Structures are given as structure tokens and as C-alpha cells.
Chains A and B, each alone.
Chain A
Amino acid sequence: MSERPSLWWIDWRLSRGPLVRETLGRFLFFCLLGFALLSLLLSGGASRFLAGRYAITAVLRAEVPSAEAEGLARKVAALPPVRSATYRDPEAAWKEFLRAYPGLESLRGAGGNPMPGYIEIGIRPDRLTGADVDLVASALRSVPLVEHVLAGEEWLPRLLRAGRLASWVGWGVFGAFLAGFFLVGRLQERARAVALAGDFAFLAERGVPASRLAFLRAAGAAISGFLLAAAGTAAGGGALFLFLRKFPFLEGVIGPTSDLFLPRTVAAAALFSCGAALLSAAASLLGWRAARTGRK
């Protein structure tokens, strides 16, 4: 490390105490934001919750052999929007029926088992859209083995709309917190620029151009913003990991812990850190400008 003093971390060199306090506050804030970001990313807003509770049921004809039904289930499972496709034979369907409606054993009389076999199809959370549900339902309806397809098409659009709304609210709250971070950061930067105005004037009088000072401060803010956001998101991700391990039932709403390590999750966290770096730099520049304007 060079011993030569650098203007890169000029605020750190001139105002350590306030900067340490601000940095600590920002780190804690990024921990919370990181937790919220990863929760939103993994859950897809309300998509995972809805997808966990929504299924298309393909009721099979009575005479369909199990082998053919299982083959059909495998083919359906291969469709891109499908998360899972499980075949239930008539006997399993009857047991499920009795569990749901106990005391109706008498329905199985001389005519034998009245329940048909069926395939229960789950949709991937990220593909739970009207178009993808239509795609799967249409594909099933064209199969001669299938008698009925129950996809809830009458109420599904309303459900999806409510899900989208919930997602927007979630992301909106996240965005509001991010905007709050930006505004608070700008005020902090402004206050620091005002407090250090004498030092900046001192440096300007000694040949350090103001534009260079502003640029180096903004660059320093961007680097520290990126590192803080990355560290905060990692800490928030760690907290989410422990949280999901302690309360596994929440995996149905937020998602499995393994999704935290998916490349797309890591890429989103990196993108968030870059965004935080840009916001930090912008807050620094705007704070600097406001302080200089206020001084005049």
C-alpha cells in the first residue's frame, strides 16, 4: 500500500468520526435492503405463494390404464411452464376424497370406485401467467385420454392480478426504501460537504481543482457504496438463509435456501450493488453541489 496520501478517501482522512457513523448506518440499512431484495427475488413477489397453491387438474377417462396415464404425466411435466405433474390413480383419488369428506364410504357401492384417476399439474412460480396456464390447459384438452381440464380459468385472471398487485406493492416499498436511502445519503453528503467546506477551500486555494475533489469524492462514495451494498446484501442473504432454515414452512412463500446460490440471484445482488454505487456517487455529487450552492 502506498504511503502517499491520496485524495480518493479525502472524507475519511478529514472527517473519520461522522464517516464511520454514516458507514455503519448504511451497512445496517443495506442489510435490511439485502434481506428484502433477496426475499422479493426468491418469492417473485406473491408468485411462489400463488404457484404453491394453484394446480391444474386433468381428469382422465375411466378406462385409461395406469401406464398410459403415467406416460402422459411425464410428457406434461416436460412442458416448460410445468413445475410438477403427478398422476393419481382412481384408488388414490378415492382415498383423497374420503379424507376430504369422511363418512361417504357408502358411495362406493356395487358400481365400484366412482372416482376417476387424474394428473395434478403444478406451474413454476415464474411462469404463472394466463398465457402459460392456457398453453398447458390447451395441450391437455387436445389429449383424448383427458376428459376434463380444471384450470380455474374463470377466477385465475383476478388471482393473477391480485398477485401482480402484491408484487408491485412489495417492489414499491423496496423502491421507496431505496429512494429514502438516496435522500438521506444526499443529506448526509451535503452536511459533510458543508462541514468540510473549509478544508475543500483550503485545498482549492492550493491548486486542487474543485472538479477533481468532487469527482474523487464521488468515486470514493461509489466504491464504498458498492462494497457496503455487497457486504450488506451478503449479510442479509445470510440472515435469510438462517431464517428459512429455522422456519422451513416459509420456503413455500419465499423459496428454498438453495435458490440463494443460483447464478441469477448472485447476478441480481451484484446489479443491486452496482445500483447502490451509482446512487452513492449521485448522492455525493448532489450533496457537494448543494453545499457549494448553499455557501454562495
Chain B
Amino acid sequence: MIEGFRLGVFSRGTTLWDGLDFVFGDAAAWVVTGPPSSGKTLLLSILRGERRPDAGDVVVSGESLYRGNAALAHAWRASCGYIPEQTVADARLTVGNLFRRSALAGDGVRESERKERTDRLLEMVGLQGASGWRIAELSISERGRACLAAELLRGPKVLFCDGLVAGAGVPFREMLWGLFRALAREGNTVILAERRIPERWALAAGDPEPVGPFRVYRLAGPPAEVKGESG
């Protein structure tokens, strides 16, 4: 469980938000929505242990990320996967390089396993045969999906995605929905930061919990199940 207590951020000479409490339970997919410049990326950085909040603390499984042992914070980050909002960063790399780099971050991915799983994961996100493609030549949607596949290589316990669903585009939302549901079913936690939640997902999630400028949704199950539709 990831808990944020009385979190506050002071940025650009003003208080962005203060006194926010979050609780993200294990084995579930969560969507945090908020308007532009509301600090969604910042919130993910704080939850990942990357950026110390100006107020409050983050507790993961009972251990403080910022006031506890530094080794625990490193271990926590090592167990996380992170797909940043897609920019021109890493343009010099190929998709295969993303996987190679991801394998370096994890201690347990063997070379043979990496090669085998790379093809499988790329196929899963609709990028079969893309291993040699250059990131600079990919669309925003393709970059996001390639990064997602590379992060999944390490099998992170917690996956943070920043603007991934919006970037992936409508045709891939259902694929992502199914993927996140499967990850949650296997005991993983997925936290998404988006400007808005897809309508079908919102219907499945039910009423969000308002936290400061954000709305926090817990994705319970596939939209079809919730709505009673087939497929």
C-alpha cells in the first residue's frame, strides 16, 4: 500500500497544493486525473521517491520513503516501473536499446530471457518487429507503448504511467485496459496520471475520490463487465 500523508508542494513561488492525503491499495489500477499544470507528474515523482515533498510524507508498506532508510527508498524505486510523458528524450535510441537499458536497471533479467521477452512484449503492445526501430521515428503513441513494454520487461511491482493512456490513442485504450487489469490481477499496482479518464473507464470506476485538484479513480474491472455488456 502506498500512502501519502498531508502532501504539499510549493512551486514557482506559490503553494501548488497542500495537505493532500492519498491511499493506493495493492493489486489494483488507479487513475489520478487533474487539469494541466496541476502537478500530476510531480505527484508521481513524489510517490516514486524521486522528489521529496515540501510537506508531508509518503509511506510504502509502513516505511517512510523520505524519512526512513535510504536503501529502502532505492529498493522501492527498483521495484517500480515508470513511463514518463512522451517527449523527444531518448530519440537517439532504438526500441531494442530501451529493453537493454531496462534490463540493466533490473537485477534479474538474463540476456536470453530479455531477447525472448522483448519480442513477446512488443507484440503485446502492437509493435511487433519494432526492436530495431529508432525512437525518433516513432509516433507519440508508439513511443509510449514501447516504453511500457520495456518497463514490463523487469516485471515491476508498481507501475507509474504519466499521460500514457492519452498518448496511446483511442485504438489502444482497450488493450491498455486489459493489460492493467491483468497486472492488477497478478498482484501489481498501476497508478496512471491523466488529464481526463476515458468515459468507459470512468463508468467502470464509479465515483472518484476528490483530493485537492485531483480525482482518484479505482478501476474495478473491465468496462464490459461493469456495464453488463459482452466483449
Which chain A residues (179-224) contact chain B, with CB distance < 8 Å?
198-199, 202-203, 205-209
Q: Are B101 and A202 in contact (CB under 8 A)?
A: yes
Alpha-carbon gap, A205 to B45, bound state (A): 9
Stretch at the interface among B54-62, B76-84, B119-127: B76-84
Most buried by B among A10, A14, A202, A203: A202
Which A residues touch B179, using CB under 8 A? none
Alpha-carbon gap, A3 to B107, bound state (A): 11
Q: Is A5 an interface residue (CB 8 A)?
A: yes
Smallest CB-CB separation from A201: which chain B residue? Answer: B89
Q: Is A245 an interface residue (CB 8 A)?
A: no
Majority secondary structure, A binding face:
helix
Given A3-B110, A14-B97, A14-B101, is A207 in contact with B90 using a C-beta cutoff of 8 Å? no
Partner of B105, one of A198, A208, A209: A208
Smallest CB-CB separation from B71: which chain A residue? Answer: A209
Q: Are B82 and A203 in contact (CB under 8 A)?
A: no
Which B residues touch A199, using CB under 8 A? 101
User: How far does the Cβ of A54 sit from chain B's closest Cβ, in whole Å?
Assistant: 62
User: How far does the Cβ of B88 sit from chain A's closest Cβ, in whole Å?
Assistant: 11
Task: Bin chain A's interface residue count.
Answer: 10 to 19
Smallest CB-CB separation from A195: which chain B residue? Answer: B92
Which A residues touch B112, using CB under 8 A? 3
Q: Are A5 and B111 in contact (CB under 8 A)?
A: yes
User: How far does the Cβ of B173 sit from chain A's closest Cβ, in whole Å?
Assistant: 26
Given A5-B109, A5-B111, A14-B100, is A207 in contact with B76 using a C-beta cutoff of 8 Å? yes
Partner of A205, one of B82, B97, B108, B114: B82
User: How far does the Cβ of B156 sit from chain A's closest Cβ, in whole Å?
Assistant: 9
Number of A-B contacts (CB under 8 A): 55
Q: Are B48 and A205 in contact (CB under 8 A)?
A: yes
Alpha-carbon gap, A198 to B154, bound state (A): 19
Q: Is A4 an interface residue (CB 8 A)?
A: yes
Q: Is B29 an interface residue (CB 8 A)?
A: no
Q: Are B104 and A10 in contact (CB under 8 A)?
A: yes
Given A205-B48, A205-B82, is A7 in contact with B77 using a C-beta cutoff of 8 Å? no
Which B residues touch A5, using CB under 8 A? 100, 103-104, 109-111, 114
Q: Are A3 and B50 in contact (CB under 8 A)?
A: no
Q: Are A207 and B75 in contact (CB under 8 A)?
A: yes
Q: Is A13 an interface residue (CB 8 A)?
A: yes
Q: Is B74 an interface residue (CB 8 A)?
A: yes
User: How far does the Cβ of B110 sit from chain A's closest Cβ, in whole Å?
Assistant: 4
Which B residues touch A198, using CB under 8 A? 89-90
Smallest CB-CB separation from A202: which chain B residue? Answer: B101
Which chain A residues (9-33) contact chain B, with CB distance < 8 Å?
10, 13-14
Instruction: Point out residues on A near B: beta carbons under 8 Å.
Output: 3-5, 7, 10, 13-14, 198-199, 202-203, 205-209
